[in-house]
Structure formats: structure tokens, C-alpha cells
């Protein structure tokens, strides 16, 4: 476990993960792709436990992108069913651990049964304080920024906001996780080295970590490796190394 006695900057307060490799994991084992997704649910549980133990306050997981609707219809249907069943099983466990569940994305396009489970989970856990578990479902970073800009455009249209008053902060205030710190560490499993339209605005100053480990095989040891890599980075937020050494750099604040 990460030593909490070390300097606070060594432990990210917010980790965002693209959980990639479920299908390839299943293929390697000559199993249907869907069983790879089921195995990935266990990895989610392990990562939540790791975050709680190591005082990581926010974990954001990319579960289903707005582009994933392009996958075969049968696979999408199975994924939606798995999402529903997993929520039913895990909501009470999350609540008992004092974890707040939040789902971000265009939820209106999700099956009604899934929307009902999301509402139940978010309502039950809304006052919990140990950690925020954020799950992105039918989410895209471009969609997130677009819906923020639309909200600001409506404010301008109604005469409540001048165009010159639109700032980075006002765009941030209309994003899906506007009340949470930006991710300190971004992890992508499965070997691909791209962000794939995930939290595009929020990842501006995040440390990026890519691992070939497939998501179902990602556990505490692999998470430790990501944290170790994070500890080895110098986070300058646009400043120089000399300014960092002199303590002149404050953490990047949204907006």
C-alpha cells in the first residue's frame, strides 16, 4: 500500500482510468468478449478498494463512450445488462463503505431500467464522504464541452451573460464534474496510447500513464506501478523547475 506518511503530492487525489482490454483478454482465453467485460467488473472492485486504502478521493472510470454505440448490437445489449446487474449488486456495498456514486454522460439515451438504477444509486449515496466513484456512461469529452458551451450560449441569449464574460472558469462550471478536482493521474490499460475523447478539458494538466496490462489483469500491484510513475514526475503547471524547487508553484486549479 502507498505510504500515506509521504508528501501529499505523491498521492493523486483524483485518478481517471480508461478500462481497456476486456475483449482481448477474453479472446486470449478463447472466451466470448462478454466474459471479458464481466471479469472487468471485479477489477473495478479491486481498484475502488485500492483507492479507499490509499486515500485517493476521486476515481473516475470510462465505462461506455458515446462512440461505443457503434459496436455490434448484441454486445451493446449485453453491456447494458451487465451495467444494470452490477449496479444492483454494488450500490449497497458502495453505500456501506461511505462512497458516493456519480454517473456522468448523456444518461437520457441509456435504457430506462439503467436510468432507474443510476437514480437509485446516486440518491442512496449522495451524502457519502469517503470517496467519489464517478462512472462515465454514454460520455464523450467533446459532448461534455459542447453541452457546457450550449448552456453558456443560452445565458447569453437570455441576456444574463455577456460574451466577453465567458471564461475558462465559466466553461468549467458547466462540465459534468465541475465540483471535483481535475484528475492528477490518467491511466489507460490495454496498451493503447490515446485519450479517446475522455475528459478532454479536465485532463489538461494530468499526468498520463499507459500500460500494456489488460483491464481484467489490472490489480493492486499494477496500480502501485502507476502511482510510482506519478511520484517520479515533476508537475510544473507551466512554471520552471527552479520555481518548483523554490515552492512557487500552487496546484493547478480548474478555470
Catalytic site residues?
A: 20, 68
Cα–Cα distance measured from residue 214 to residue 46, given in angstroms and rounded to the nearest whole number: 14
Residue recorded with cell 500494456: 212
Max distance between CA atoms of the chain, in angstroms, equals: 60
Cα–Cα distance measured from residue 142 to residue 144, given in angstroms and rounded to the nearest whole number: 5
Cα–Cα distance measured from residue 62 to residue 189, given in angstroms and rounded to the nearest whole number: 11
Cα–Cα distance measured from residue 121 to residue 127, given in angstroms and rounded to the nearest whole number: 11
Given phi > 0 = left and psi -120 to 50 = alpha, else beta, which region is 197?
A: left
Residue recorded with cell 471479458: 36
Amino acid at each position: 500500500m502507498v505510504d500515506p506518511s509521504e508528501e501529499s503530492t505523491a498521492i493523486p487525489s483524483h485518478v481517471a482510468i480508461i478500462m481497456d482490454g476486456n475483449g482481448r483478454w477474453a479472446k486470449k482465453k478463447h472466451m466470448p468478449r462478454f466474459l471479458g467485460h464481466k471479469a472487468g467488473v471485479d477489477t473495478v472492485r479491486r481498484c475502488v478498494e485500492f483507492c479507499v486504502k490509499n486515500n485517493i478521493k476521486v476515481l473516475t472510470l470510462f465505462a461506455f463512450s458515446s462512440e461505443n454505440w457503434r459496436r455490434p448490437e448484441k454486445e451493446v445489449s449485453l453491456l447494458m445488462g451487465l451495467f444494470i446487474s452490477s449496479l444492483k449488486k454494488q450500490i449497497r456495498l458502495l453505500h456501506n463503505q461511505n462512497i458516493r456514486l456519480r454517473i456522468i454522460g448523456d444518461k437520457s439515451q441509456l435504457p430506462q431500467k439503467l436510468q432507474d438504477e443510476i437514480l437509485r444509486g446516486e440518491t442512496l449515496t449522495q451524502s457519502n464522504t469517503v470517496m467519489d466513484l464517478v462512472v462515465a456512461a454514454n460520455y464523450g469529452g467533446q459532448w461534455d464541452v459542447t453541452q457546457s458551451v450550449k448552456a453558456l450560449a443560452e445565458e447569453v441569449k437570455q441576456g444574463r451573460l455577456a460574451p466577453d464574460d465567458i471564461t475558462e472558469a465559466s466553461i468549467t462550471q458547466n462540465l459534468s464534474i465541475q465540483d471535483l478536482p481535475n484528475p492528477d493521474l490518467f491511466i489507460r490499460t490495454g496498451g493503447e496510447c490515446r485519450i479517446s475523447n475522455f475528459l478532454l478539458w479536465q485532463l489538461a494538466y494530468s499526468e498520463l500513464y499507459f500500460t500494456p496490462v489488460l483491464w481484467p489483469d489490472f490489480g493492486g500491484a499494477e496500480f502501485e506501478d502507476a502511482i510510482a510513475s506519478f511520484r517520479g514526475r515533476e508537475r510544473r503547471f507551466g512554471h520552471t523547475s527552479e520555481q518548483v524547487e523554490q515552492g512557487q508553484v500552487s496546484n493547478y486549479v480548474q478555470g
